[in-house]
Structure 1
Amino acid sequence: MAPLPKQTRQWIVSNPPKTSVSLSGDDATFKLQTVDTPSVNDGQVLVKLKYLSNDPAQRGWIQSGVDAERLYVPPVRQGDVMRSYGIGEIVQSKAENLKEGQLVSYTANWSDYRVLEAKEVTPVQEDKEAGIKATHYIGALGGPGLTAYYGLVGVAEATKDDTVVVSGAAGSTGSMVVQIAKHVLGCKRVIGIAGGDKKCKWVESLGADACIDYKASDFEDKLWKATEGYVEVYFDNVGGHILDLMLKRIKRYGRVAACGSIATYNDPESTRLKNWFEVIANRIQIRGFIVFDAYTKGNGQEMMNAIRNAVKERKIQIEKQEETIVPTKFEEIPKTWTMLFEGGNQGKLVTELKE
């Protein structure tokens, strides 16, 4: 058995950004530090990081000047270790119900080792027959999957009679929206919006009736054609210009599940909605939500069970929930994370830690 680590590397937030994240120089957003590894006490485990979850929402947690009272989780302040979810391996256990070598999901943070209470980790189980991998527990079978299900069912109240449009359709949440809307809820038509022909073809392979490339010069014309007759539900992952366009494509009394705003995370002042009167004139319902609401306002566990059952019944083909797994040295964690904001991923963006 390899000796237990005496020290742990961590990435801390050194300069909370106002606009784009900086990876180098005096104003670098993140800084690498090394600290002593705490000892493991009774009821605790030492976990080694294997995979990091990269999520657009993390950008909002580190925004300079963010008002903690207006944020749904505590912000990550200057000097704090960057927060993230992940999959790790237990390398030392003093908890009766957890064994060394076991894979668990947990709040990993950007830290290569963490000492945690047993209740702070959740065992994960791979299932080759069902196509379930460990990384799915930070993707389709984790927060992104639950976000998609709750946003569609609990927020937008989508039914089989609805046409659903989802932006960011090639992302981890958007791609699950496509599969759930088409194959679980049986919505009559599902339209994705994604960047690039390759991504759009993949979104269509998941079940979308059409996918519109927002990078194409004729994007607006194709969006208008695809949404002819207007649509009942819009699942918004990007905000900005695409949200503004979609306000003109939603039916009277239509519903918008406002999930994310990745188009504006690095430039909060960039959003200028020209079509807001559409909300008033057509009585469009827009509801913002956070995945935690599934447990506080809905029934998150039942929804997670529904997702798992859909996987077992092959309604959701989890092997098609593509992942962009990037082998990354610990020193390059921030660089991989920024791929989220450059359109560098198809499906879930996962950082795989390599020695």
Structure 2
Amino acid sequence: MPQETKQWLLASEPVADAILSGPDSTFKLVTTTLPALKDNQVLLHTTHLSNDPAQRGWIQRGQDPARSYTPPVAVNTPMRAYGVAEVIESTAAALPTGTLVIATVCWSEYAVLDAAECRVLTPTDGAKPTHFLGALGGTGLTAYYGLVDIARATAADAVVVSGAAGATGSMVVQIAKHIVGCKRVIGIAGSEEKCRWVESLGADVCVNYKAASFKEDLWAATEGFVEVYFDNVGGEILDLMLQRLKREGRVAACGSISNYNAGDKAAGLKNWFEITRNRLEVKGFIVTDAVVAGKTGAFTKILTAAVKEGKIKLGPEVETVIPTKFEDIPKTWVKLFSGGNQGKLVTQLI
């Protein structure tokens, strides 16, 4: 069994884009000794890593830990990440060798964890292990919780989803159309190709935010205004959408990826008074709130049933799995912020 493991540590907290080389690199590669197994522990070999926009917030320079929903990643500690891993040594009866689990393995080739920190992957018809990082994992739960619990979307609502070709957005589109049955689903994505894919998932129309005609296209797609906006991007698109919501419209504020690497150039809001004038509701949320409330078990059953019924697509197009050498993990991760993925971005370690 291995006695050492390679790890990527956080070397320097970024203000804007992560720096991947040079003396100011955001991350550094090290080799460290693995601890011996104690009772009820497992030695894991990481096979796949989840890439999530939230990770950017965990390493932001200058943040106040008291204002964060999870402790920031400390400098000189492993970069935090969820992943799929195989048990290769165990002192836990419930996790024999060969078991596949989901756990916070960090950017680490091998990891020693308590058995209680691991969730066994349960086979589901049509699902691969990577889907439990995306559609049937935290991503799908975030989409369902934000749309159904936070925005309270119903079949009578028209819904706009930004980042609709991303991991969460693509699930929101499918849930809105095929589970909730919303009367109209409008996606926003970053290319014509991605827009056509979002429409294939169930969106009635998808508009390209990189097109010169984006504002006109958005206005046309939201004619008559809409009841719900699921916001994954923040910034200028959120500002525009405040003008396209009906009176007492609801915004589920899931993320702000357009500003994560913007530093002091982050886009602000010009249309804030729309919230007052039209009595809009804007509510931020974190999926761990649903975990604490004990709701995720029921959500998972709904999503799993929807997969079996063909309402949720789990084909290869719903995830971007990139074979990656361990030394190149950061290079794959930064693709999140340049539109380098369709659906869930997953690192497959080779």
1:222 alignment partner in structure 2: 217
Query: Contact 1:178–1:192 at 8 Å: present in 2 too?
Result: yes
1:178 alignment partner in structure 2: 173
Aligned counterparts of 2:268 and 2:281: Cα–Cα separation in 1: 19
Q: CA deviation at 1:319?
A: 2.2
1:51 alignment partner in structure 2: 48
Partner deviation per Cα, 1:40-94 (whole Å, 9 max, x = no partner): 1221110000000000010000001110000100000211110000001111111
2:247 alignment partner in structure 1: 252
SS in 2 for 1:45: strand
2:333 aligned to which of 333, 337, 344: 337
1:88 aligned to which of 85, 89, 112: 85
1:33 aligned to which of 30, 35, 44: 30
Q: CA deviation at 1:288?
A: 0.2
Aligned counterparts of 1:300 and 1:87: Cα–Cα separation in 2: 19
1:318 aligned to which of 314, 319, 329: 314
Cα-Cα RMSD: 1.0
Opposite residue 241 of structure 1, the aligned amino acid is E
Q: 1:268 to 1:233 in 2, by over 3 A?
A: farther
1:287 aligned to which of 283, 286, 298: 283
Query: Contact 1:252–1:284 at 8 Å: present in 2 too?
Result: yes
1:64 alignment partner in structure 2: 61
Q: CA deviation at 1:321?
A: 5.7
Aligned counterparts of 1:19 and 1:303: Cα–Cα separation in 2: 35
2:301 aligned to which of 285, 305, 322: 305
Query: Contact 2:317–2:342 at 8 Å: present in 1 too?
Result: no
Aligned counterparts of 1:319 and 1:335: Cα–Cα separation in 2: 25
Q: 1:189 to 1:124 in 2, by over 3 A?
A: same
SS in 2 for 1:292: helix
Opposite residue 134 of structure 1, the aligned amino acid is P
Q: CA deviation at 1:318?
A: 2.2
Is 1:79 matched with 2:76? yes
Q: CA deviation at 1:297?
A: 4.1
How many residues are aligned here? 349
SS in 2 for 1:233: strand
Aligned counterparts of 2:183 and 2:226: Cα–Cα separation in 1: 11
Aligned counterparts of 1:29 and 1:318: Cα–Cα separation in 2: 34
Give percent identity, aligned residues only: 58
Aligned counterparts of 2:97 and 2:138: Cα–Cα separation in 1: 25
Moved segments of 4+, more than 6 Å: none
Q: CA deviation at 1:320?
A: 6.3
Aligned counterparts of 1:321 and 1:99: Cα–Cα separation in 2: 33
SS in 1 for 2:73: coil
Q: CA deviation at 1:301?
A: 1.4
Larger displacement relative to structure 2 (86-95 or 255-264) = 86-95
Partner deviation per Cα, 1:111-147 (whole Å, 9 max, x = no partner): 11111111111111344xx310000010001010000
Larger displacement relative to structure 2 (253-262 or 268-277) = 268-277
Query: Contact 1:206–1:320 at 8 Å: present in 2 too?
Result: no
Opposite residue 89 of structure 2, the aligned amino acid is Q
Partner deviation per Cα, 1:248-291 (whole Å, 9 max, x = no partner): 00000000000000000001431221111111100000000001
Aligned counterparts of 2:117 and 2:110: Cα–Cα separation in 1: 14
Is 1:277 matched with 2:276? no
Query: Contact 1:165–1:233 at 8 Å: present in 2 too?
Result: yes
Partner deviation per Cα, 1:213-258 (whole Å, 9 max, x = no partner): 0011101100000000000000000000100000000000000000
Aligned counterparts of 2:242 and 2:210: Cα–Cα separation in 1: 19
Aligned counterparts of 2:170 and 2:252: Cα–Cα separation in 1: 15
Opposite residue 317 of structure 1, the aligned amino acid is K
Q: For structure 1, list consecutive stretches of 5 or more residues without a partner in the other structure.
A: none
Aligned counterparts of 1:125 and 1:154: Cα–Cα separation in 2: 26
Opposite residue 133 of structure 2, the aligned amino acid is I
SS in 1 for 2:139: helix
Q: CA deviation at 1:298?
A: 6.3
Aligned counterparts of 1:295 and 1:41: Cα–Cα separation in 2: 28
